[in-house]
Structure 1
Amino acid sequence: MTDARSDKGRASEPVAFGRRREDRQGRSVRIAAVGDFHCGENDGGMYREAFARANDEADILLLAGDLTRRGTPAEIAVVCGELMDVRIPILAVLGNHDHESGQPEKVNDALRARGVHLLDEAPFELNEHVGFAGVKGFMGGFGRYTLTAFGEGETKAFVNTTLDEVQKLEYSLRRLSTPTRVVLLHYAPIMDTVMGEPEQIFPFLGNDRLLEPIDRFGAAVVFHGHAHHGTFSGKTPAGVPVFNVSMVRVREDTGAELYYVHEIEIPENSGRAEQEPEPGVETPTAAERAGAGSA
């Protein structure tokens, strides 16, 4: 598999994988996506065969975070072993479980060494038609109940964490030159796909501030995890399909063993396009657009 890593700590250009299988001649890309499989130290071999089948069933594999139980080096070593036979590109974002032990850089280092591309560091272009952007995302709630940056410093810091993730996603989407853009998150960007979870924990399952760049840049599809007992699919206000690919949801709602396969058709006139803003036009930041209301 081509190494799609980017240098840690350095802003890099979108990684381009190049044309694959003559674009499959069917003018489509098959995406396998799953999150929340929570590998523990004793889970070696549990998913290896299923992941290997992605070589035949998909063109690219997306991992939507919570790859481990507590984010320890021993657990991420198991994850890398489960991915050993995957030859197609693998893209990932981390989840909250992968941060639990306070060693996310060790998790990232192990994934990079395996050749997994971390979307939090740079977008990825599979070919001239389809590109991928992603961040972990964060919490805060949805709609009129979204937490605002009002009051204590701790509240402001919490909200600013979400706004930072929104801005990172915006920047990643802006850097893609492909006409078709796919978004990968851990936290949910819409309330529809957390429905089924206890309503009391909705604010901890995602934040719809992530919607603004998704809809403005016209994403083709969004994948996320985290909401194990949520709803498998929903749509953004602009009609972008969103899939909750937590392993529990994939198994219960699609009958698949591990991952959901989504196929994107490539338009006949598809090709790279320049996405930079027009000269002289200033683009407001995500924080400026979101504003800071009061609760």
Structure 2
Amino acid sequence: MAAVGDLHCRDDQHGRFRQFVKQVNASADLLLLCGDLTDRGMVEEGKVLAEELSALRVPCAAVLGNHDYEHGQVKDICSELSKVGVHILDGDHYIFEKVLGVAGVKGFGGGFGNATLQAFGEGETKSFVQEAVKESLKLEAALSHLDTEKKVVIMHYAPIPETLDGENIEIRPFLGTSRLSMPIDHYGAACVFHGHAHHGAREGKTKSGIPVFNVAMPLLTKFTPEQRFALMEV
């Protein structure tokens, strides 16, 4: 599997991902995209990315990120990507060759462990927490319907704090929440991929020991500029 997030494709970037697609075709059987596929959430950006991904010769499953929602054009972006065979997951799953199930959800923020934000006080706070709970329940539903031999999870927000090391401590509660790790630990998975944390750490583990990988493209580029995706065998 090749996995990467935070492509942040803009409408003036024709050809930016040409080499990326060639490398994926040459080295992977499946591509997983972990959100922030576009930079400002505009359909024109989705069209450019779809044009780039049209050269893929392997299946692709993806989730959206916060940037993809910026202009309220999510439906149109998904439509453009679906035209080139990208499977957008939002609380559902994709099955690859009957043996690997990919569960996907965008996720949300809210903090971790004992510092997880609770639904108390103002309505706005309760709404913020409810969004995180909703995303967690969507992931639980996706995993509960998977009976494949192997399972992986893709999301945009981080399910553990360890992969946020390197980000400003003040913003870490907005980059993910441990609510997302609960269904993963309950149902199990071979590994988890997420993006969003451009300055975070590359890997960590959930409480039950499931590996979690931060595959934000800006982070990967710092370590392997010649290969802007993580490659893993499951």
Common fold, TM-score beyond 0.5?
A: yes
Structure 2 equivalent of residue 127 of structure 1? 97
Structure 2 equivalent of residue 237 of structure 1? 207
Q: Structure 1 stretches of 5 or more lacking a match?
A: 1-30, 265-295
Give the number of the structure whose alpha-carbon radius of gyration is greater: 1
Give the counterpart letter for 2:154 in structure 1.
Answer: L
Contact 1:43 1:78 in 2 (8 A): yes
Give the counterpart letter for 2:64 in structure 1.
Answer: L
* 1:226 partner SS: coil
Contact 1:123 1:132 in 2 (8 A): yes
Choose which of 219, 228, 231 in structure 2 pairs with 1:258. 228
Q: Does 1:40 align with 2:10?
A: yes
Contact 2:92 2:141 in 1 (8 A): no
Choose which of 148, 153, 171 in structure 1 pairs with 2:123. 153
Corresponding residue pairs, total: 234
Give the counterpart letter for 2:72 in structure 1.
Answer: G
State the Cα distance separating 1:254 from its structure 2 match.
3.9
Structure 2 equivalent of residue 247 of structure 1? 217
Choose which of 59, 66, 70 in structure 2 pairs with 1:89. 59
Q: Structure 2 stretches of 5 or more lacking a match?
A: none
Structure 2 equivalent of residue 175 of structure 1? 145
Q: Comparing both structures, which one devotes a greater share of its residues to helix?
A: 2
- 1:218 & 1:173 partners in 2: Cα distance? 8
Give the counterpart letter for 2:114 in structure 1.
Answer: R
* Alpha-carbon displacement from aligned partner over 1:6-38 (angstroms, at most 9, x marks no partner): xxxxxxxxxxxxxxxxxxxxxxxxx10111121
CA-atom RMSD in angstroms: 1.1
- Bigger mean CA deviation after superposition, 73-82 or 220-229: 73-82
- 2:208 & 2:226 partners in 1: Cα distance? 28
* TM-score normalised according to structure 2 size: 0.97
- 1:262 & 1:254 partners in 2: Cα distance? 14
Choose which of 91, 116, 121 in structure 1 pairs with 2:86. 116
Change (3 A) 1:242 1:254: farther
* Alpha-carbon displacement from aligned partner over 1:121-176 (angstroms, at most 9, x marks no partner): 63111123211001000010111111100011111111010111000000000111
Structure 2 equivalent of residue 73 of structure 1? 43
State the Cα distance separating 1:106 from its structure 2 match.
1.1
State the Cα distance separating 1:48 from its structure 2 match.
1.5
Q: Does 1:58 align with 2:28?
A: yes
Structure 1 equivalent of residue 110 of structure 2? 140
Contact 1:232 1:253 in 2 (8 A): no
Structure 1 equivalent of residue 175 of structure 2? 205
* 2:103 partner SS: strand
- Bigger mean CA deviation after superposition, 78-87 or 247-256: 247-256
Q: Does 1:215 align with 2:185?
A: yes
* 1:53 partner SS: helix
Contact 1:94 1:186 in 2 (8 A): yes
Identity of aligned residues (%): 50
Change (3 A) 1:40 1:55: same
- 1:83 & 1:165 partners in 2: Cα distance? 27
* TM-score normalised according to structure 1 size: 0.77
- 2:226 & 2:157 partners in 1: Cα distance? 22
* Alpha-carbon displacement from aligned partner over 1:240-284 (angstroms, at most 9, x marks no partner): 1111000011122344422110111xxxxxxxxxxxxxxxxxxxx
